[in-house]
Amino acid sequence: MSKKIVFMGTPEFATETLRVLANSNHEIICVYTQPPKKSFRGQKINSSAVQLEAEKLNLKIRTPTNLEDQKEYEYFKSLNPYIVIVVAYGKIIPKNFLHLPEKGFINIHASLLPNWRGAAPIQRSIMNSDKETGISIMQIQEGLDTGPYMKQIKTIIETQDTATIIGKKLSKLGSENILECIKKIDNSSANFVVQNHKQASYAKKIEKSEAKIIWNDSYKKILTKINALNPSPGAWFQFNDVRYKIWKAKNSEKTGKPGELLDEKLTIACGVKSIQVLEIQKEGKKKLLAEEFLIGSSIPKGSKVF
């Protein structure tokens, strides 16, 4: 039987689940997403990926700046949803909203809870050199990702996996399983597992200051940072007061003083061994493969980067 669903999500990660729900026999009565943001220097207004997808699907869209507003509460209440599906919405759901849907709020979280609760689970799992990650389809309660989960699906983190790659894997897993989960909730066959809160770890938001490469770190730690921060915000270093982002690299056996350019192929010494840059972006320029960048490179062998 068709159910009235409110969907809440913001980034590209959430769009595949939105499409699956929109193409099911359920009715999406409203899509909540973060308000459009101004781009750098305010030249352009950028709608969220979910808003753009919802517009294509001709769905009703809501972009409140604050869910705490009483008028927003009354509007949400008037929707009278059967269930609310949340995928990376980006705001804490207020306590007084949680009892409104008949079957509550169900969240697709990008980690194997109780590991990596919070804003940046994909990035933190890669930076931590985790061997696996996954999704948790869970019930939202008070607290940050503390509710019980009804299903978890695992996936391996390969050595060269970036946040982009893992995000696509987890997005697909979530979208492939959400309809089954709604069906189980509807017929009361869902089994919710209470998290072991003593084992919880937290994936705090990535601060821009964390993106700076520390060349005294080992090559492994630097590579995981590069992968974790691709596509955003990008791991970076400075040379002659100009910032460069590294988007892709591999390990090298060469050694030298941390931050030293060891050859003409953009091999940079780390605290342990080194990395060879494969894709790089100079501040204000486009991304380039290393061989393209080196045609006009001004970072010669023996230079020190910071």
Same domain, 71 and 187: yes
pLDDT, greater one: 26 or 40: 26
User: Which tokens belong to 283?
Assistant: 């501040």
Of residues 92, 100, 191, 81, the one with CA closest to residue 137: 191
CATH number at residue 262: 3.10.25.10
Residue 41: pLDDT band by 50, 70, 90 thresholds?
low
Q: Are strands 235-239 and 267-269 parallel, antiparallel or unpaired?
A: unpaired
Same domain, 229 and 164: no
In a domain? residue 12: yes
Q: What are the tens digits of pLDDT across the range 157-175?
A: 999 999 999 999 999 999 9
Cα–Cα distance, 30 to 82 (Å, whole number): 12
Q: Are 161 and 123 in contact (CB under 8 A)?
A: no
Pick from 199, 232, 255: which residue ends a domain? 199
Cα–Cα distance, 242 to 210 (Å, whole number): 18
In a domain? residue 247: yes
pLDDT, greater one: 2 or 50: 50
CATH number at residue 114: 3.40.50.170
Report the number of distinct structural domains present in the chain.
2
* Percent of all residues in the chain with a pLDDT value above 70, rounded to a whole number: 99
Residue 177, CA atoms < 13 Å, CB-side half-sphere: 22
Residue 292, CA atoms < 13 Å, CB-side half-sphere: 10
Domain that holds residue 251: 208-293
Same domain, 13 and 142: yes
Q: How many other C-beta atoms can be found within 10 angstroms of the C-beta atom of residue 127? A: 19
| R_g (Cα) of the chain, nearest Å | 22
Residue keyed to tokens 């897993």: 173
Same domain, 137 and 183: yes
Q: What are the tens digits of pLDDT across the range 190-208?
A: 999 999 999 999 999 999 8
